[in-house]
Amino acid sequence: MRAASAPGKVILFGEHFVVHGSPAIVASIDLRATAIVELMESGDVRLSDGSRGNPAVRAAEHILSRLGASTGLIIEIRSKIPQSVGLGSSAAVAASSSAATLHLLAGRLDHSMILEASYEGEKTVHYMPSGIDTSIATFGGAGLYTRSDGYRRLDIELEEILVVNTGRQRRTGDLVLRVKEFSEKKPEIFKQLLDEAARITMEGLDHLRSKDLEKLGRLMNRNQELLRTVGVSSPEIEEAVALCLEAGAYGAKLTGAGGGGCVIAVADPDKLDKIAPVVSRKFEVFRVKLGVDGVRIEQP
């Protein structure tokens, strides 16, 4: 038996536009998924509830095929990451399951193999994944992600933010398709938005490094406008954003695919103490730590 865990994530800037080549800033958060993998003499790979065809199972199967191993596996998932709300739960589940499987069978962790297997797992729930979720679940920390260059880990001086869960679950693939349709219907406008999204991400990086929360917040608000324009905001998101801003956040935006899911907000740490109880009257609120460990072996 072997156990491994991997973190969830928030995208601070650049979701959706990252699928179309623009850079994004992503950070791991201190909510983790754990996979406990056990060998089965005979049979196939399945979750402890019997299900197949999900990210954890597909990722473990990929590890088996890379190792040339044929064994049955049973995988138990314990996760603190809410599902289908933009916090990278499926990537964390896939990364932890592939790490536990690899360590159980080969006695080692190979991050590039885990990344590859997690990506295969992510494809079971996602249309055209950029790879951002599986990279952060595997490597942890925080940094810049582009489709062409992958993940570059950076020192980012932001320790905590607020995550507001609107509670509305949605499918990332549907929202990615919605943006693709926008890009095909309005290519010129989309190109301008893509360029602006890239500028916002790079400027955001400077403010993250200098920990200028006020400027960071303003940029988040602008990023939210771009996301609204391409059609991935929702009434719940707008309400959560407005609540955070009214309660004193410098900025707030959806994180991940949108259409519901989660909103993030930045403010000075003492202000976060005041904003959280106000927003939690309506929505579930997490105060999360950023930049935690990537995939790692745990005691089962």
16 is a site residue for ligand PMV (CB under 6 A): yes
3-state secondary structure of 255: strand
Residue list 34-73, contact with ligand PMV (CB under 6 A): none
For residues 159 and 154, what is the distance between their CA atoms, to the nearest angstrom? 13
Q: Which of 133, 168, 159 is nearest to 284 (CA)?
A: 168
Least Å distance, CB 134 to ligand PMV, is: 9
CB of 60 to ligand PMV, least distance (A): 20
> Of the residues 30, 44, 110, 133, which is catalytic?
133
Report if residue 15 touches ligand PMV, rule: CB under 6 A.
Answer: yes
Nearest to 257 by CA among 2, 18, 1: 18
d(CA 64, CA 47): 15
What is the C-alpha to C-alpha distance for residues 48 and 31, in angstroms, rounded to an integer? 22
| Per-residue x/- track, 130-159, ligand PMV (CB under 6 A) | x-xx--------------------------
Q: Which is nearer to ligand PMV, 45 or 256 (CB)?
A: 256
Q: Which amino acid is at 143?
A: G
Cβ closest to ligand PMV, residue 235 vs residue 277: 235
Helix (DSSP H) and strand (DSSP E) numbers for the chain: 9, 11
Q: Per-residue DSSP letters for 258-278?
A: -SSSEEEEE--HHHHHHHHHH
Work out whether 88 is an interface residue with ligand PMV (CB under 6 A).
yes
Stretch that binds ligand PMV, among 58-66, 150-158, 240-248, 256-264 (CB under 6 A): 256-264
Contacts of 201 (CB under 8 A, 6+ apart): 13, 14, 22, 23, 24, 25, 144
Residue 23 touching ligand PMV (CB under 6 A): no
Q: Out of 3, 4, 12, 18, which residue is the one contacting ligand PMV (CB under 6 A)?
A: 18
Q: Tell me the closest approach of the beta carbon of residue 241 to ligand PMV, in angstroms.
A: 16
Q: How far is the CB of 100 from ligand PMV (least distance, A)?
A: 22
The question of whether 49 is a catalytic residue gets the answer: no
At closest approach, how far in Å is the CB of 240 from ligand PMV? 15
Strand extents, DSSP E, the chain: 2-13, 24-40, 45-47, 72-79, 142-146, 150-153, 160-165, 251-255, 262-266, 284-289, 296-298
Token readout for 63 is 């590890």
User: What distance in Å separates the CA atoms of residue 225 and residue 110, rounded to the nearest whole number?
Assistant: 40
Using CB under 6 A, pick the residue from 257, 264, 267, 288 that binds ligand PMV.
257
Q: Restricting to residues 157-216, which ones interact with ligand PMV according to CB under 6 A?
A: 172, 176
Binding site for ligand PMV (CB under 6 A): 11, 15-16, 18-19, 86, 88, 129-130, 132-133, 172, 176, 256-257, 261
